[in-house]
Amino acid sequence: MNLEEFEKIDPYQWQLARTGAMRVLARIFADETLLRDMDDKVGEQIRNVAALPGIVTAAYAMPDAHWGYGFPIGGVAAFAPEEGGVVSAGGVGFDISCGVRLHITNLTCDDILSVQEKLAHELSRAIPAGVGSRGAIHLDDNEMTEMLAGGAAWAVASGYGRAEDLERIEENGKMAGALPDEVSAKAKKRQRNEMGTLGSGNHYLEVQAVRELFDAETAKAYRLQPDMAVVMIHCGSRGLGHQIGTEYLREMAIAAPGFGITLPDRELACAPIESELGMRYLGVMRAGINCAFANRQILTHLTRDVFERFFPGAELDLLYDVSHNTCKEEWHVVDGKQRRLFVHRKGATRAFGPGAAELPEALADAGQPVLIGGSMGTESWVLAGTAESEAAALSSACHGAGRAMSRHQAAKQWTGSGVKKELAEHGIIVKSPSKRGIAEEAPGAYKSVTRVVEVAENAGLARRVARLTPMICIKG
């Protein structure tokens, strides 16, 4: 992007002044290099978000921002219902509640390396991955309704995991206000055989090593130690979430004129929060969040089973599970007053600071774990939410590296076999049913996740705690 279009607030914050239909400022967190390398569409999209009814504070873009559907990936915006604020299906995205969870273990890197190839093989057999992947679980109509209402709590009650897992999931693994009966039959049908599956794209399960600590006190609270093996899972609501997004984007686009809403972009289709359509979407989206919670919980159960076969008595304790494609009702301080807002985070993660009531007691003093997944073959990060993030961006942070080129461009530049071989030379085993999928997710197709998290820290969005590197990657 052209830096001359922006006002530089400081080395890590840039601002677009209100122009045209914009109701608030647009703010991007980036250094000069990241901002210059962002495609122009990010600036256009964040301006459009700033023009939506009822938006408060500003429209934000995180350091990993890139072009998306409606909102940029890495977009954050909050809306006040009493001011005609809207909920936008494009501001949540198609993969509702796509998120990351991290498990700490009592194993070392050497433990993993001693069985690396065999462990990778068995994980790839146990974890269905790829486009249209199907699992061994089949849900009938009653089970589907219970899952959409109960989320990870339903999964645990069904034998997938442990009750203590729920304390380490946002919303305790069960999003209140879900409306399973409003989820379409087509969305339910798409999900009926997809529970406990990774899917495709940038989703993965990785066995990683804790390579470096940056905040010893917080790392101790998170129970992270150097040379510890950890397991990161990144996936979402699969076919159900995609179908919900498809259906409500269409319905909202058609309904917008009737609400007196002029859309700056059809992809920003929305409805007033307090309208029947807005409330119905929120209820269905919350059911999608519960689906993602349950899906990740089942994947944890399947992973634990595999580890138990290799390492009897192995511990895979959940550190935290947090989503990055949601619209959440939250209270935030705006102009010195507590306000009830509906915060859209698309490709952005919640980053509550120390003392937040939503955090379990064991994490309250340290702040919320912010889990930043790297691109395949590169490092991932554990950050911690900060008190400063509330004022900076409504307690939000980045969620990953952010794409530097499209999947089509990546597939033209790399081959799956070549990427897999190169990663193997660096000690990383990749298992995937799709060679093209590996090429599309080549590490070089993404921005530097290290630079992204450094900017996030310098901007006050979250602080670095630990750097993780992959040893095994199960890829969709």
- What pTM, to 2 d.p., does this model score? 0.96
Query: Does any domain span residue 155?
Result: yes
Gap between the Cα atoms of 454 and 467, Å rounded: 12
pLDDT at site 199 = 87
pLDDT tens-place string over residues 160-216: 999 999 999 999 999 999 999 999 999 999 999 999 999 888 899 999 999 999 999
Query: Does any domain span residue 7?
Result: yes
Q: How far is CA 123 from CA 224, 228, 309, in A?
A: 23, 19, 11
pLDDT at site 403 = 85
The verdict on whether 399 is a catalytic residue reads: yes
pLDDT at site 135 = 81
Parent domain of 49 = 3-404+446-475
Read off the tokens for 352. Answer: 């509550």
Among residues 203, 242, 344, 399, the one annotated as catalytic is: 399
Indicate if the alpha-carbon torsion angle 185, 190, 193, 194 is positive or negative.
negative
Query: Does any domain span residue 420?
Result: no
Query: Does any domain span residue 414?
Result: no
43 with 17: CB under 8 angstroms? no
pLDDT at site 265 = 94
What CATH number is associated with residue 162?
A: 3.90.1860.10
SS3 118: helix
Query: Does any domain span residue 109?
Result: yes
- Secondary structure in 3-state letters for 203-255: CEEEEEEEEEECCHHHHHHHCCCCCEEEEEEEECCHHHHHHHHHHHHHHHHHH
Query: Does any domain span residue 413?
Result: no
Number of folded domains in the chain?
1
95 with 237: CB under 8 angstroms? yes
The values of phi and psi at residue 417, to 5°, are: -65, -40
What distance separates the 2 farthest-apart alpha carbons in the chain? 63
289 with 151: CB under 8 angstroms? yes
385 with 368: CB under 8 angstroms? yes
SS3 91: helix
pLDDT tens-place string over residues 73-122: 999 999 999 999 999 999 999 999 999 999 999 999 999 999 999 999 99
Query: Does any domain span residue 441?
Result: no
pLDDT at site 152 = 98
Taking 50 as the pLDDT cut, the residues of the chain under it are none
Query: Does any domain span residue 410?
Result: no
pLDDT tens-place string over residues 350-374: 999 999 999 999 999 999 999 999 8
pLDDT at site 401 = 87
pLDDT at site 447 = 85
